[in-house]
Amino acid sequence: MDKDQDDIQFIGLFGIYKESLTIINSWRNSFAKIALATILPLSVVFLAHIEISELLFSEILHNEDALDETRANTPRYAKLSHMISSEWTAFWIFKFFYFIFFLILSLLSTSAIVYTIACIYTAKSMPSLYELVTIVVPRVWKRLIVTFLWNFVIIFMYNVIAVLTFILWGFLFSPNVVGIVVLCIMVVLYLTGFVYINVIWHLASVVSVLEDVYGIQAMIKSKALIKGKMRVAAIMFLTVNLLFLGVQIVYQRFVVLEASLWLRLFYGMICLNFLVILILLGLVIQTVIYFICKSYHHENIDKLLLSDHLEAYLGHYVPLKSSMDVQLEQFQL
């Protein structure tokens, strides 16, 4: 981010990609270490989850087919029923622990990348990987988990309202032309709202690290910052997530369902490397968008105060201001 702060707001869609790639390339050694420490384990967990889920689910389907061909009220029927019940329990327990591990690693990766880019922006000396992982990340992670929990509550309530709305559609409309058109409009509105909430959450994650707010306050701050840049941020969000979905589909097709061991290893390594790069790029992009939004709203980022805020995570800084010990003062034109 070597551009003048007032000029950052004019960076467009392709400019964000270029700026993000430039940052990664200029500090590739630092990002490579962070990727190996946090993003690589995250990617391995994600891909392993796809394969294990497929194995568990295939076994459940196989036993359910066998159950359909077995006469009821027989010992074999009772055994298969008990086996299927146990397999479903194991499946959902696995999903639960996967979600926990994936969430923890995601927040750790976000913490490390956002903190590192802030150090680059303020020309602050980089902490060692040991300091970053053992001191900085755990402190930042606590703030991010609060922000995530608020986002989880918002998404949960949003989906509950959406389900009730679709149920209401089922009572009020029949599956004719008018009903289908109304349903399509509802689906588009739902997806638009879903993307909007997630864009705000991703920006709120950066806010939680770089400002003295987190949780619902970070979501509110993010909502205000994203105004005027929502279209660009939404396109970036959709692009990264479509690529993420593409990796998942390729892995499912050429690794999970492939018979040849060598082809599985070949495509597996390609998917793993691409996923690590994609996650790294996505995290850098959302941080770059934060600085663009700050510039767009003419909010000055005092590099000295931001540097002091970063030092606080290392325990080296005692705030001198009681009201606002983080940067972010309104830029006076």
For helices 137-172 and 177-210, give the axis angle rounded to 10 degrees: 170
Rg, Å, the chain Cα set: 24
**310 in Cβ contact with 119 (< 8 Å):** yes
Q: How far apart are CA 177 and CA 193, in angstroms?
A: 24
**Residue-level pLDDT at 319:** 40
Number of alpha carbons in the 13 Å side-chain half-sphere of residue 60: 15
Q: How many CB atoms lie within 10 A of CB 179?
A: 14
Q: Tell how far CA 148 is from the center of its chain.
A: 10
Whole-model pTM: value is 0.82
**Domain boundaries, position 96:** 5-330
- Distance from C-alpha of 112 to C-alpha of 136, rounded to nearest angstrom: 8
> How confident is the model at residue 333, as a pLDDT?
37
**Number of structural domains the chain divides into:** 1
Of residues 273, 300, 143, 138, the one with CA closest to residue 208: 143
In the chain, the amino acid numbered 325 is: D
- Give the closest residue to 146 by CA, choosing from 204, 232, 82: 204
Judge whether 243 and 277 are in contact, CB under 8 Å.
Answer: no
Backbone phi, then psi, for 299, in 5-degree steps?
-95, 115
- How confident is the chain (333 residues) per 10-residue block, as mean pLDDT? 62 84 88 89 92 88 83 82 88 92 88 84 69 73 88 93 91 82 91 92 90 89 89 89 91 82 88 93 90 80 64 53 39 38
Q: What is the DSSP string of 270-299?
A: HHHHHHHHHHHHHHHHHHHHHHHHHHHTTE
What is the pLDDT at residue 329?
A: 41
Q: Are 91 and 83 in contact (CB under 8 A)?
A: no
Torsion of CA 250, 256, 259, 261, to 10 degrees: 90
Alpha-carbon gap, residue 275 to 248, rounded angstroms: 9
pLDDT attached to residue 309 = 64
CA distance 229 to 236: 11
